[in-house]
Amino acid sequence: MPDPALASSPLPTASWQRLLPRSLFARVTLIIVVGLAIAQLLTFAAVRYERGMAMRELMMIGIERDIASSIAILDRLPAAEREGWLARLERRNYRFVLNGQAVGTAPDSAASQAFAKAIVDALRPFETVKVGQVAQPPEGLQIEVRLGDGSTVVVLARRADMPLSPWVLWLLALQLLVLALCVWQAVRLVTRPLAQLASAADDLGPDLKARHLDEQGPTEVAHAARAFNAMQQRIAGYMAERVEILAAISHDLQTPLTRMRLRTDLMDEGPEQRKFRHDLDAMSVLVKEGVTYARTLHGTTEPASRIDADALLGSLVADYADTGQPVRLEGQLGAPVVSRPNALRRIVANLVDNALSFGSQVQVQLRADAAERFVVAVIDDGPGIPPDELEAVLKPFYRVEGSRNRSTGGTGLGLAIAHQLAVAMGGQLVLLNRAEGGLEARLTLPRQSA
């Protein structure tokens, strides 16, 4: 049976993934560079260790003979001349002190013991009085030797580490830099097509007019680009075919609807005639809204132009006020924007119509959101929308009759058309329930239309 504690604990890989960068480019680059750096450092450490071992072996072979030869020279020299020879006999890893006493404790490490034993063996037949290990220099030895005339000489010896030239470290750093640059270029070559593909997929909006990917490069990259371009063309073809079908249906329905309207007009005035006329009007609106929504799936072909958003929305609100509708405008941008005026007017009109259907007071707010975006918010005092249906009402033919029960009219396409047009213009439409009651439809658009 698995341990429940282990089963509930997070996997180590998950914690490591949280520490890694988010982009594939940064992750692959980091992993390869760190791996190569570790490999380089391990190689450098192995070479340094091997050279150190070789040098210690050479030192163990030769240094004890040199010390023994120096002691023999001092023994044969007259006592008065020995002081003058100390500087000549001194080397980088050993020197001599006359008439001194060795201090320190017995060597504790295996390397120090072997080093001391080699020197003591080479000094025979001279008597070794004491062998001590001191802290400074690290693992340094003091060996007290008695000469033939009874005087003493202290040998201060230490094991010499392998010398390391500064250019070696600079060479290692240069190697790591070259490796990092090569890895960066290689990973960029691999991940750049992925970034281009993702960018093209993001640009593929409702108008299905994303940029055409370059089909050059490595085989895999060219194949992916060709597949994406072909997919884009197929989707555009499918959508165009469906729009044509809807347009044809709408056109063909106009004739029977017109005949039915004429026949209705010829009927005697009464409840049945009014019912028939109401049904015909609903069918006509539904057909027109359906075709309009299908066309918005291709976005809007209207070119972007420099417009005064304050004046455009002011004119729209004034039109509602002229018909006695309770709509008012608050706020202004104070600067022109580059957008699609007819599409913007259609979006705001749909939002206002929806708000008037379920609220008694409608407010249109215009404000700057950031340096590159602006917001148009349509606020009503209606019953709002259940939170779990705020996104669903943006879908076609979806109506919330339980929460916004003032009326069940409409086709369920007004918000869907507004949402599709907002996406086609590079913006975003979200619905929010207000804390004080009512609904806010917040439209965020770029100041410079794509």
| Dihedral angle, C-alpha 99, 100, 106, 110, nearest 10 ° | -70
- Whether 45 has a pLDDT exceeding 50, the answer reads yes
Alpha helices, DSSP H only, in 328-445? 341-358, 414-424
- Structure confidence at residue 397 (pLDDT): 67
**Which option is the CATH number for 219-296: 3.30.460, 1.10.287, 1.10.1740, 1.50.10?**
1.10.287
- Structure confidence at residue 20 (pLDDT): 64
pLDDT tens-digit map of 391-447: 888 877 666 654 444 344 455 677 888 888 888 888 889 999 988 888 999 999 988
CA dihedral (412, 415, 421, 426) positive or negative: negative
Q: Give me the half-sphere count of Cα atoms (radius 13 Å) on the Cβ side of residue 310.
A: 9
Q: How far is CA 185 from CA 7, 91, 181, 367, in A?
A: 41, 51, 6, 45
- Structure confidence at residue 10 (pLDDT): 45
- Structure confidence at residue 70 (pLDDT): 87
Whether the full predicted model's pTM is greater than 0.85, yes or no, is no
Per DSSP, the chain holds a count of helices (H) and strands (E) of: 11, 11
- Whether 34 has a pLDDT exceeding 60, the answer reads yes
Fold of 305-446: Heat Shock Protein 90 (3.30.565)
- Structure confidence at residue 11 (pLDDT): 44
Same CATH fold, 305-446 and 219-296?
no
Q: Which helix (H) or strand (E) is 209 found in, with range?
A: none
Tell me how far apart the alpha carbons of residues 325 and 360 are, in angstroms, rounded to a whole number.
9
Q: Is 375 helix (H, G, I), strand (E, B) or coil?
A: strand
Q: How would residue 160 be classed by pLDDT, with cut points 50, 70 and 90? A: low
pLDDT tens-digit map of 47-101: 777 666 666 655 555 677 888 888 889 888 888 888 888 888 888 888 898 888 8
The neighbouring-strand residues paired with 146 are 127, 152
Mean pLDDT of 186-191: 75
Tell me how far apart the alpha carbons of residues 89 and 293 are, in angstroms, rounded to a whole number.
101
**Which option is the CATH number for 17-197: 3.30.930.10, 3.40.50.300, 3.40.50.360, 3.30.450.300?**
3.30.450.300
Q: How would residue 295 be classed by pLDDT, with cut points 50, 70 and 90? A: low
- Conformation bin of residue 174: beta by default, left when phi > 0, alpha when psi is -120 to 50: alpha
- Structure confidence at residue 443 (pLDDT): 92
- Structure confidence at residue 389 (pLDDT): 84
- Cβ-proximal residues to 169 (8 Å cutoff; 6+ apart), any chain: none
103 neighbors 142 (Cβ within 8 angstroms): yes
- Structure confidence at residue 240 (pLDDT): 73
Domain range list for the chain: 17-197, 219-296, 305-446
- Cβ-proximal residues to 23 (8 Å cutoff; 6+ apart), any chain: 191
